[in-house]
Amino acid sequence: MPIVDLFRYYNDIFIPIYAEVVARRQAKPRQIANEIENAFSHLTSYHLSDCDLDKKSNLNKAIGHIQRATLDCQKILWLTLITDAAYLEKGDGLLEHASNVSLDTAVAQYKLIQKLGIEARFIESQNTGISLAVRLEFYQNAIEQHKKFDDMIDIVKARMFANRQKKFSLKQFAINNAVGFMIGVVAGIIGNYFYAKLFSPDRASVSIQSPGMPPNTLENK
């Protein structure tokens, strides 16, 4: 890759995805900054060297660092996107209420992005014989399909539905606690009533009264 193409790659490929990562996460990932710092160190060596072999070596190393920084951005962005979408599975009926398309279409697209993410991760793990460019291509395809899924979802509807579910759950929790408390109170009253009946002082005195003595027949004689 000529140096002019490297700078085009940096400007047209790396910068847009890096900007999206920073915007979504509200932070600059340190490992990406390290890769860019290393890339520009090699570019400095490239410009300062008079040896063609050294220049070629440093340029290739700079390209590798920028491609790895791009791959890191893709992985971070993919993880952010799939985490944001995962909550749609948790809410009963949430995906159906939040989608702008048919439920079958939204579910099929969601399954597709999960599948592509798994494939991209598998390709990345097979380092031997697989270039960075191929790994970048797989992740980029997964991200583009995920953005299509995002276009199918109305985030405002999703949040409104999720809030209603949360309020309903809290209300149901309060009702269940109130019912449980009332049952406990009633059971306590009934228990105290029967306890008082069974062990009242009048009943106790009757139960321990001594039997009457038989008349003294000797005195009557």
Question: What domain range includes position 73?
Answer: 3-153
**How many domains, in total, are found in the chain?**
2
Does 163 share its domain with 137? Answer: no
Q: What angle do CA 163, 164, 167 make, to 5 degrees?
A: 85
Q: Is residue 220 part of a domain?
A: no
Q: Whole-angstrom Cα distance, residue 72 to residue 133? A: 13
What's the pLDDT tens digit per position in 58-76?
999 999 899 989 989 988 8
Q: Which residue has the tokens 């009702």?
A: 175
What's the pLDDT tens digit per position in 105-162?
888 888 888 888 888 888 877 765 667 778 888 888 888 888 888 887 766 666 665 5
- Bigger pLDDT: 87 or 8? 8
Does 122 share its domain with 161? Answer: no
Q: Give the residue from 102, 69, 88 showing the smallest Cα distance to 146.
A: 88
| Cβ count within 10 A of residue 62 | 24
Q: Is residue 214 part of a domain?
A: no
Q: Is residue 144 part of a domain?
A: yes
> Exposed, middle or buried by CB within 10 Å (0-12, 13-18, 19+), for 40?
middle
Q: Is the pLDDT of residue 35 over 70?
A: yes
What's the pLDDT tens digit per position in 12-26?
999 999 998 998 888
Q: Whole-angstrom Cα distance, residue 216 to residue 221? A: 9
Does 148 share its domain with 170? Answer: no
